[in-house]
């Protein structure tokens, strides 16, 4: 009755045609708002292409059990690109193939973004060549540095420059793009400084693009997350890396026992604290942590120890915030890291 009286007053003031137009617009807005209210809840995830296969599997499993009531979008902007969005509060969950950096922590702090840091799997950075490469049986960490350091640009261009016994043929390099956490991690442990790299190589944040390029080129050498190598073993060959104690191949055993060092790393998700207050996001994260070990193995990555999954779930339930990766973290195992105190 109140709405009818108001409509009669409007009609008397501006005339019937205009009043009917306003009524139509109002009713359309009501219908649209009703449809939006009844639509599925949306969760936004972005970040690492390395972690994408595990997150995608977790999303598919979760959505299938919720019958369209929750929609989850997963982007692959790379770890660095994803953190830019996450620290602006634009995404709910950040996939990361390296820990959050000091600069990213400061960006989150400026924007009032507080987060949960949760490990979901292990990865082994894998040095790969084409199956057609017949001369490389191992490579040293020092040789990798000589290939990838900035001073190698337009200088180290042939295989024979790395080892005289290798053929005098072109060296074609493939690696992660600069927004990738894989790029940050690789350059830090191989070259000695994050983001310090030659620029004359085929770069991509999409690891499938790198797989295609390396597999087709006899003279190629590149680095990939282990899962992308594992799923393309018939096309690629992993090169054992000698970090000073003899050549070592990446595997679950060598990652867990620490012998594939320093090219092994944890994969993580970061959850915005405000987002975690939403019931659907809490359910998704708890589902993800509960299934991560199984899903990691299914898509070619390495599960964490069960104790670490239980610890991560406990930290999420108890509301523990911040990062365990700070100056005192060097040399600690992942499970010991997550038993220590966090910093913002």
DSSP 8-state secondary structure symbol assigned to residue 158 = B
- Which has the higher per-residue pLDDT, 137 or 205? 137
Q: Is the pLDDT of residue 19 over 60?
A: no
What pLDDT sits at residue 32?
Answer: 47
In contact, 222 and 216? CB cutoff 8 Å: no
The CATH number assigned to the domain with range 41-122+266-337 reads: 3.40.190.10
Domain ranges of the chain: 2-38, 41-122+266-337, 126-256
In contact, 136 and 171? CB cutoff 8 Å: no
| Cα–Cα distance, 8 to 151 (Å, whole number) | 79
Is the bond preceding residue 262 a cis peptide, omega within 30 degrees? yes
State residue 257 phi and psi, 5-degree precision: -90, 0
∠ CA(260), CA(266), CA(272), 5° rounding? Answer: 170
Using a pLDDT cut of 70, give the percent of the chain over it. Answer: 87
The yes-or-no answer to whether 41-122+266-337 and 126-256 have a common fold is yes
And the tokens for 273?
């604290």
| Cα–Cα distance, 128 to 147 (Å, whole number) | 14
Homologous superfamily assigned to 126-256: Periplasmic binding protein-like II (3.40.190.10)
Quick: pLDDT tens for 154-193.
999 999 999 999 999 999 999 999 888 889 999 999 999 9
Q: Which of 24-28, 80-84, 130-134, 175-179 is least confident?
A: 24-28
| Cα–Cα distance, 137 to 129 (Å, whole number) | 10
C-alpha dihedral (237, 242, 243, 246), degrees to nearest 10: 140
Q: How confident is the model at residue 26 (pLDDT cuts 50, 70, 90)?
A: low
């Amino acid at each position: 009755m109140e709405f009818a009286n108001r409509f009669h007053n409007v009609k008397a003031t501006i005339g019937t045609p205009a009043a009917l137009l306003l009524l139509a617009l109002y009713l359309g807005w009501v219908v649209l708002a009703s449809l939006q209210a009844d639509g599925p809840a949306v969760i936004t995830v972005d970040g690492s292409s390395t972690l994408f296969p595990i997150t995608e599997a977790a999303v598919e499993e979760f959505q299938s059990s919720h019958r369209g009531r929750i929609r989850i979008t997963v982007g692959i902007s790379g770890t660095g690109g994803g953190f830019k969005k996450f620290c602006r509060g634009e995404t709910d969950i950040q996939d990361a193939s390296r820990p959050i950096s000091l600069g990213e922590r400061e960006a989150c702090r400026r924007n009032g973004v507080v987060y949960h840091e949760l490990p979901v799997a292990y990865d082994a950075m894998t040095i790969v060549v084409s199956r057609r490469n017949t001369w490389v049986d191992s490579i040293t960490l020092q040789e990798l540095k000589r290939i990838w350091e900035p001073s190698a640009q337009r200088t180290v261009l042939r295989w024979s420059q790395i080892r005289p016994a290798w053929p005098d043929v072109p060296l074609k390099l493939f690696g992660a793009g600069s927004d990738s956490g894989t790029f940050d991690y690789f350059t830090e442990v191989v070259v000695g400084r994050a983001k310090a790299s030659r620029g004359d190589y085929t770069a991509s944040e999409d690891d499938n693009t790198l797989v295609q390029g390396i597999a087709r080129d006899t003279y190629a050498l590149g680095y990939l997350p282990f899962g992308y190598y594992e799923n393309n073993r018939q096309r690629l060959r992993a090169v054992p890396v000698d970090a000073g104690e003899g050549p070592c191949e990446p595997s679950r055993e060598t990652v867990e026992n620490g012998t594939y060092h320093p090219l092994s790393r944890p994969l993580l998700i970061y959850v915005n604290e405000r987002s975690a207050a939403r019931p659907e996001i809490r359910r998704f994260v708890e589902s993800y942590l509960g299934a991560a070990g199984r899903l990691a193995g299914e898509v070619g990555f390495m599960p964490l120890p069960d104790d670490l999954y239980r610890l991560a779930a406990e930290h999420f339930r108890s509301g523990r915030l911040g990062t365990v990766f700070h100056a005192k973290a060097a040399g600690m195992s992942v499970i010991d890291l997550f038993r220590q105190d966090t910093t913002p």
